[in-house]
């Protein structure tokens, strides 16, 4: 059986490789806040959330498929959490009741396999009952197919056959084995046989006429004879023992897949509940194909900031449809970096099938999300800061592909304005030539104004709003880049609001 709640045609691979820039994405977009909120202290949920979110999908059908599954989860959170308890119970039962198949002897393998099967049958029966009771409440293709497979495969006949096999393989009435004589009258072709069915009552069985048979009994102290019979039994049940063990492992694998795929949606439920408690909106985004230039947002906010501050944060509205380049300028601490982070967060959340932190979000898919943020000075660096920035950009150039999304935050500002602007201009132009969408937060007027003066139809210029008295609204609006970065505001905040004594 397949779970198919994360993928249409394959299982979730918990070991699938993460993108090469995993650490940069997590650091620059503050994704660990997101993962921790989804995990709620559960290491397994954390790892699944990290792996699914960072592995962006580019298949529109798959993204919409997951959105529908997630919508079902949001509509039925109690049922989903109860469903998730089934694979967790399997893990707990194995820990308490089954120590594993630690023997190579067929009798031991069979005994352990039967214990697992008996435990799994209880859980599968519970799964089937949930499908019978709740399947009508789910509308997504993913869940409808999931429950249909359970009801079809785990039917009454299945449970009856399994129960009969488990009962028979416990050998309460002994083991029936056939064999042949080989060379030197040595026994060969030992085969386990099903006992003949009883016809009538136990009293009739006792007095029924039987064909003549030869038998012998072992002396209680005949250890060699007991060992020989044990070896014969092992040879006969070896094939059956392996089949039972493989069947148990197959069910174990299915429950592990169920746990892994449900874990992502459990994480989404955890996140949804926390964000809604803060009063923030969440919405399912509208994804568009690669190559279309769509980027319209309303009320988009930094979800990691909201979760950290635990209060309402400012959202932004932007219409970037048809734009390849978005340059963001304006006053310090005006919300530029926060907006850029929200763009990246929403993109990776959309491309894994999640809701996003906005009132409305519509954007085209991208072949990958890449970030190039300024870094703090590192005393261990063997070269200058600009060299370090260029080295990171070179690594990005080796991996980025057409239709990617590139987020720059104060990049290439480690040198003078003219040189830094020229480096940034050439890199940005090269990316645009390769059909890569670019968001660039910068204080470099020469860079921003240079692109503005070109009058590009595919460029959008945003500016952080500053009130006349220097106050910040953390809102962005369309506007021409200004030559000032309002350093006077910083001076007033430091020296006028907090006067410093003169040094002696």
Confidence class for position 109, pLDDT limits 50, 70, 90: low
Q: Provide the pLDDT for residue 333.
A: 79
Q: Provide the pLDDT for residue 502.
A: 45
Question: What's the rounded Cα separation, in Å, for the pair 36 and 354?
Answer: 16
Q: Provide the pLDDT for residue 98.
A: 55
The string of pLDDT tens digits covering residues 38-50 is 999 999 999 999 9
On whether the CB atoms of residues 366 and 407 are closer than 8 A, the answer is no
Of 341, 345, 367, give the one whose Cα is nearest residue 354: 345
Confidence class for position 331, pLDDT limits 50, 70, 90: confident
What average pLDDT does range 6-12 have in this prediction?
91
**Which has more confidence, 443 or 170?**
443
Q: Provide the pLDDT for residue 226.
A: 65
The string of pLDDT tens digits covering residues 258-313 is 999 999 999 999 999 999 999 999 999 999 999 899 999 999 999 999 999 998 89
Burial of 491 (0-12, 13-18, 19+ CB in 10 A): exposed
Q: Provide the pLDDT for residue 466.
A: 73
**Which has more confidence, 378 or 271?**
271
Burial of 310 (0-12, 13-18, 19+ CB in 10 A): exposed
Residue % of the chain over a pLDDT of 70:
77
With 80 as the cut, is the pLDDT of residue 215 above it?
no
Q: Provide the pLDDT for residue 468.
A: 60
What region does 494 belong to: left with phi over 0, alpha with psi -120 to 50, or beta?
alpha
SS3 308: helix
- The DSSP line for 105-139 is SHHHHHHHHHHHHHHHHHHHHHHHHHHHHHGGG--
**Which has more confidence, 344 or 113?**
344
Question: What's the rounded Cα separation, in Å, for the pair 256 and 249?
Answer: 10
The string of pLDDT tens digits covering residues 41-93 is 999 999 999 999 999 899 999 999 999 999 999 999 999 999 999 999 988 88
Question: What's the rounded Cα separation, in Å, for the pair 321 and 344?
Answer: 17
pTM attached to this predicted model:
0.84
Q: Provide the pLDDT for residue 232.
A: 63
Residue 186 half-sphere exposure, CB side, CA atoms within 13 Å? Answer: 3
Q: Rounded to 10 degrees, what is the CA torsion of 47, 85, 276, 61?
A: 70
Task: Provide the mean pLDDT of the chain.
Answer: 85
The string of pLDDT tens digits covering residues 14-29 is 888 999 999 999 999 9
With residues binned 3-state (H G I as helix, E B as strand, rest as coil), the percentages for the chain, rounded to 5, are: 50, 15, 35
* Residue 121 Cα distances to 85, 97, 125, 166, 169, angstroms: 15, 14, 6, 10, 15
The string of pLDDT tens digits covering residues 391-415 is 999 999 999 999 999 999 999 988 8
Close Cβ partners of 317 (under 8 Å, ≥ 6 residues apart):
297, 298, 299, 300
Q: Provide the pLDDT for residue 504.
A: 37
For β-strands 286-288 and 316-319, DSSP reports them as unpaired
Token reading at 175: 């083991």
Question: What's the rounded Cα separation, in Å, for the pair 174 and 238?
Answer: 16
Q: Provide the pLDDT for residue 470.
A: 57
Q: Provide the pLDDT for residue 390.
A: 94
**Matching residue, tokens 């989903």:** 80
Question: What's the rounded Cα separation, in Å, for the pair 169 and 212?
Answer: 27
| Selection from 174-183, 189-198, 439-448 with the highest mean pLDDT | 439-448
Of 431, 379, 378, 376, give the one whose Cα is nearest residue 407: 431
SS3 320: coil
Q: Provide the pLDDT for residue 163.
A: 76
Question: What's the rounded Cα separation, in Å, for the pair 42 and 263?
Answer: 10
Q: Provide the pLDDT for residue 258.
A: 95
What average pLDDT does range 131-150 have in this prediction?
95
């Amino acid at each position: 059986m397949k779970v198919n709640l994360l993928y249409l045609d394959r299982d979730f691979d918990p070991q699938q490789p993460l993108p090469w820039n995993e650490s940069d994405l997590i650091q620059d977009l503050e994704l660990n806040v997101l993962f921790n909120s989804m995990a709620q202290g559960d290491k397994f949920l954390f790892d699944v959330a990290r792996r699914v979110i960072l592995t962006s999908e580019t298949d529109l059908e798959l993204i919409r498929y997951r959105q529908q599954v997630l919508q079902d989860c949001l509509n039925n959170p109690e049922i989903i959490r109860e469903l998730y308890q089934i694979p967790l119970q399997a893990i707990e039962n194995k820990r308490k009741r089954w120590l594993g198949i630690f023997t190579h002897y067929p009798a031991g393998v069979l005994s352990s396999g039967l214990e697992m099967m008996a435990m799994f049958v209880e859980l599968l029966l519970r799964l089937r009952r949930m499908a019978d009771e709740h399947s009508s409440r789910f509308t997504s293709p993913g869940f409808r197919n999931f429950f249909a497979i359970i009801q079809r495969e785990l039917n009454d006949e299945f449970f009856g056959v399994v129960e009969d096999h488990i009962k028979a393989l416990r050998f309460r009435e002994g083991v029936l084995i056939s064999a042949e004589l080989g060379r030197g009258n040595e026994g060969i072709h030992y085969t386990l046989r099903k006992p003949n069915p009883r016809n009538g009552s136990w009293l009739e069985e006792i007095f029924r006429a039987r064909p003549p048979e030869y038998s012998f009994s072992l002396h209680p102290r005949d250890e060699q004879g007991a060992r020989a019979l044990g070896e014969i039994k092992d040879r006969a049940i070896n094939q059956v023992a392996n089949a039972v063990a493989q069947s148990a492992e197959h069910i174990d694998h299915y429950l592990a897949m169920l746990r892994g795929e449900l874990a992502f949606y459990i994480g989404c439920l955890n996140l949804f509940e926390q964000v809604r408690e803060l009063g923030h909106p969440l919405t399912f985004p509208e994804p568009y194909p690669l190559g279309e230039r769509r980027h319209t947002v309303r009320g988009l906010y930094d979800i990691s900031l909201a979760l950290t501050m635990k209060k309402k944060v400012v959202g932004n509205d932007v219409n970037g449809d048809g734009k390849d380049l978005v340059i963001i300028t304006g006053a310090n601490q005006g919300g530029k970096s926060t907006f850029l982070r929200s763009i990246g967060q929403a993109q990776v959340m959309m491309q894994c099938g999640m809701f996003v932190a906005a009132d409305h979000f519509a954007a085209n898919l991208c072949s990958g999300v890449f970030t190039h943020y300024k870094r703090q000075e590192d005393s261990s660096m063997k070269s200058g800061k600009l060299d370090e920035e260029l080295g990171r950009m070179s690594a990005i150039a080796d991996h980025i592909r057409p239709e990617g999304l590139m987020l720059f935050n104060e990049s290439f500002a480690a040198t003078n304005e003219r040189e830094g602007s020229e480096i940034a201009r050439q890199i940005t132009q090269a990316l645009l030539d390769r059909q890569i969408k670019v968001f660039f937060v910068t204080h470099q007027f020469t860079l921003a104004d240079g692109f503005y003066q070109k009058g590009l139809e595919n460029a959008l210029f945003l500016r952080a709003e500053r009130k006349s008295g220097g106050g910040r609204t953390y809102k962005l609006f369309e506007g021409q880049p200004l030559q000032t970065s309002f350093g006077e505001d910083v001076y007033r905040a430091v020296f006028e609001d907090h006067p410093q004594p003169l040094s002696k």
